[in-house]
Amino acid sequence: MGDFLVKYLFLYVYLILRSSSFFFSESSNLSPSCKLRRQFHLNGMHKAGDVILGGLFEVHYTSVFPELTFITEPHQPSCQGFDPPGFRHAMTMAFTIDEINKNSNLLPNVTLGYSLYDNCATLGIGFSAALSLASGQEEQFLLQENCLGTPPVMGIVGDPFSTFSIATSNVLGLFKLPIVSYFATCSCLSDRQRFPSFFRTIPSDAFQVRAMIQILKHFDWTWVGLLVSDDDYGLHAARSFQFDLAQSGGGCLAYSEILPWGNDPNEYKRIVDVMTKSTARVIIVFAHQMQMTQLMKEVVRQNVTGLQWIASEAWTLVEGLHTTAFMPYLAGTLGIAIRCGKIPGLREFLLRIHPDQVKPFGWVESGGALCTGQENLVNVETDYLDASELRPEYNIYKAVYALAYALNDMLLCIPGKGPFRGQSCATLQRLDPWQLMYYLEKVNFTTPNGDQVSFDENGEALPIYDVMNWLQLPDGRTKVQNVGEVKKSVSKGEQLTIDEDKIFWNFELQEPPRSVCSESCPPGTRMARKRGQPICCFDCIPYSLECTSCPEDFWSSPQRDHCVPKKTEFLSYHEPLGICLTTASLLGTFVCAVVLGIFTYHRSTPIVRANNSELSFLLLVSLKLCFLCSLLFIGHPKLWTCQLRHAAFGISFVLCVSCILVKTMVVLAVFKASKPGGGASLKWFGAMQQRGTIMVLTSIQAAICTAWLVSASPAPYKNTQYHNDKIVYECVVGSTVGFAVLLGYIGLLATLSFLLAFLARNLPDNFNEAKLITFSMLIFCAVWVAFVPAYVNSPGKYADAVEVFAILASSFGLLVALFGPKCYIILLRPERNTKKAIMGRGTSKS
């Protein structure tokens, strides 16, 4: 059927061109003029203006076409079947042009006119109308020099049919005459090589197809039937749907059938038989009202129920299908519809249309009563006056405005700064169609509804569709309700939004149907493709009794039919335990910084200067390092964190305990020097000796850590011994001896400090810092003695948590015990921060 249409089109075009306005004759050699050899007698209406825009609309939906022969000239067919919505589409263009003419900000001093033709839903008539718009209908006109001049129309809005648009764009595209369609959706029209001057304000079928596939995925429908009309619209949609469905992996086609044009009962019966025998419960139809009417007659005759219909935009909103015979079968239909918009003032304009203005369009049907124009239609409900759901009309509105804005931008061009050769501008007196097309490609404006209109490199507008649902009301009427939308945006791509609670399902359980070729295989079985069937059709075969071991990092699923990754466990920054320990570490670091600031600010006071203030500052720095090193135990273990965590911990604590040890030794030396003949002992505890002692003691720990890292370095380890289905990430110490020596050295210095401070606890009050050291080291030793058994008996991440807790507890103990009393005196009891108070016995007791 498709090949026949193509051959018929070329044959008709040949005869049209042989006798039409595209072939001219010169009346004389002296007077260059063109004369039409034949005129088309077309239904249309016209309005004069400085610039004329053409329009092609389906005002009648059928025609009687005489038999075509090679002997006779082609006769003009007669149009029949007045289509009120199609007539409203034509009047929408007339209204839009009137609105633009009243707008002083758009095309000032330029009046737009129009030439609107009826294509009668017939390819030959639509093509003839397009040629008439391009060449004009004047019988004879004079040519300017070099055949230059303004074309009869500057641009064409239409044609609504994809096949008609392909035919007209193939010819008029040669002259770069802009064509802006409001309803032609064939994805083939996006080919800029074939159709360089074609634009459209409706999304292409390619986007419509992807929208339908998203609906299928949303409801898990993987087994569907496809019906398409036998024209470019349907055939291109079928190819695009099959390709995109295969690419998406979202399902399979149970069958794909072509709906014939015209009345072919046998073919429709065969197609419905295929639908009946198939197990697919979802049917997608890319067709027009004519094919759907013929199809539904056969569906009703065979009483085929239990199907979920998905409608293309071509018939989603067709009220002619909302009949009492069809709705028991079509209720619950989901469909794609053109975006709805509002056009203020359109209904009032339609009411003002007088029959005399539209006589060329054939307002009166055969045998109908003649309208006088005096009838009151304000309260009359007709298809013509229904402006509640303006969808194609909104696209027409945007198409006319796009041409107007392009023309306006062209007229705003400044000579010498234009985009054409020699920086020239186009003018209305000498205008080539491609010059207007240049501005149309760059047009960008916003409608009163807030929608932005612009075209991409293929002449496509930004696509958006409404998702509609057919609901049958109790009184028998049909309501087509909006239940969602699918749109494409630059930032988020294609998105589907559906409100499932609003959807009416025409099934007993009032829920979406299941449409799959084969149900998912139960546990213990596997899929086996059926030979010669799509991938959605398979058998479920039980697994063999042989078991396969999962890899080390995987574990058997609960059904034991496949391997799943094991869970991982480590002390994380994101879990509550890790968050608490991290917060405590940062809090300790902050408190150390505050105390350091207090001591720095009051560094000249006696309580800070007593017993070598340099040691106090060094002790605070080492405590900050102790708090910070605990962070190395939190997070996913890595090689460098495993190596650094114990080394940083060991060196930081040895530096801290060394400072405390030296402070204790200084207390004892000062007390001994205060006795008669004991002054010589202080020479061994000067500032240089104190620094040297701390450096030597810390260097020993650094040497222990270096030897440990070189001989048997700690490393991350995936422990699977605690749990079979879980991997515990931890740091193995590498050498237990190295770890024991590191802890033992810290313990040795801490014990020595505790013993010396304990011996000095009964010294006079003016040397009472030894009591603070004794108490702090008691806390330190208690924490680390308790640490060893807790660490050994804690598995996985809890071992790290125990070590971090021990670091933080001992660090807070040292910080509070050593610096708490001094900060109390500095901040709250400044009268005790004097040399007399520190050295005087009575004052200290008070």
Q: How far apart are CA 269 and CA 560, in angstroms?
A: 49
Question: In the chain, which segments carry CATH 1.20.1070.10?
Answer: 576-839
Q: How far apart are CA 32 and CA 24, in angstroms?
A: 11
Which tens digit of pLDDT belongs to each residue from 86-105? Answer: 999 999 999 999 999 999 99
Q: Are 96 and 116 in contact (CB under 8 A)?
A: no
Which tens digit of pLDDT belongs to each residue from 127-164? Answer: 989 998 988 766 545 555 455 555 689 999 989 998 89
Share of the chain above pLDDT 90, in %: 39
The residue-averaged pLDDT of 467-472 equals: 94
Which tens digit of pLDDT belongs to each residue from 618-654? Answer: 889 999 999 999 898 888 888 888 888 888 988 998 9
Cis status, amide bond into 159, omega within 30 of 0: yes
Q: Are 461 and 469 in contact (CB under 8 A)?
A: no
User: Which secondary structure element, helix H or strand E, spans residue 470, and what is its range?
Assistant: strand 464-472
CA-based nearest residue to 136, from 285, 33, 286, 266: 33
β-strand partners of 36 = 24
Which tens digit of pLDDT belongs to each residue from 300-344? Answer: 999 999 999 999 988 998 888 999 999 999 999 999 998 888 999
Residues 6+ apart with CB under 8 A from 666: 611, 612, 615, 685, 690
Which tens digit of pLDDT belongs to each residue from 478-510? Answer: 999 999 999 887 677 788 999 999 999 999 888
Q: Ranked by mean pLDDT, which of 289-293, 428-432, 746-750, 816-820 comes out on top?
A: 289-293
SS3 state of residue 488 = strand
Q: Is 80 exceeded by the pLDDT of residue 76?
A: no
The residue-averaged pLDDT of 278-286 equals: 95
Q: Is 70 exceeded by the pLDDT of residue 682?
A: no
Q: In angstroms, what CA-CA distances link 120 with 12, 154, 342?
A: 16, 23, 27
Least confident stretch, 523-532, 605-614, 811-820: 605-614
Q: For residue 720, what pLDDT band results from cuts at 50, 70 and 90?
A: confident
Q: For residue 580, what pLDDT band results from cuts at 50, 70 and 90?
A: very high
Within 13 Å of residue 463, how many CA atoms lie on the same side as its CB? 25
Q: Ranked by mean pLDDT, which of 302-311, 454-463, 770-779 comes out on top?
A: 302-311
Q: How far apart are CA 356 and CA 364, in angstroms?
A: 11
Q: How far apart are CA 349 and CA 670, in angstroms?
A: 108
Q: For residue 751, what pLDDT band results from cuts at 50, 70 and 90?
A: confident
pTM of the model: 0.57
Which tens digit of pLDDT belongs to each residue from 21-41? Answer: 443 444 444 445 555 555 677
The pLDDT value given to residue 67? 59
**Average pLDDT of the chain, as a whole number:** 83
Share of the chain above pLDDT 70, in %: 85
Least confident stretch, 452-456, 587-591, 763-767: 763-767
Q: How far apart are CA 567 and CA 765, in angstroms?
A: 60
Which tens digit of pLDDT belongs to each residue from 581-625? Answer: 999 999 999 999 999 999 888 888 888 877 667 888 888 999 999
The residue-averaged pLDDT of 668-692 equals: 66
Dmax (CA) for the chain in angstroms is 146
Q: Name the CATH topology of 576-839.
A: Rhopdopsin 7-helix transmembrane proteins (1.20.1070)
Q: DSSP letter for 23, please.
A: S
CATH assignment of 205-341+463-502? 3.40.50.2300
Q: Are 413 and 423 in contact (CB under 8 A)?
A: no
Overall size of the chain counted in residues = 846
Report residue 114 CA to chain centroid gap.
42
Checking DSSP bridges between strand 78-82 and strand 33-36, what pairing results, if any?
Answer: unpaired
The residue-averaged pLDDT of 567-572 equals: 84
Q: For residue 357, what pLDDT band results from cuts at 50, 70 and 90?
A: confident
More confident position, 589 or 680: 589
Residue with tokens 């009166």: 364
Question: In the chain, which segments carry CATH 3.40.50.2300?
Answer: 205-341+463-502
How many of the other CB atoms lie within 10 Å of CB of 369?
A: 7
The pLDDT value given to residue 368? 59
The residue-averaged pLDDT of 437-459 equals: 90
φ, ψ for residue 371 (rounded to 5)? -80, 145
Which tens digit of pLDDT belongs to each residue from 209-248? Answer: 999 999 999 999 999 999 999 988 889 889 999 999 998 8
Least confident stretch, 357-366, 386-395, 489-498, 501-510: 357-366
Q: How far apart are CA 21 and CA 28, in angstroms?
A: 18
Q: DSSP letter for 729, please.
A: E
CA-based nearest residue to 337, from 402, 394, 401, 380: 394
Structure tokens at 107: 């095309």
The pLDDT value given to residue 34? 56
The pLDDT value given to residue 138? 62
Checking DSSP bridges between strand 452-454 and strand 444-446, what pairing results, if any?
Answer: antiparallel
Q: How far apart are CA 297 and CA 301, in angstroms?
A: 6
Least confident stretch, 51-65, 396-410, 542-556: 542-556
SS3 state of residue 435 = helix
The pLDDT value given to residue 408? 94
The pLDDT value given to residue 677? 54
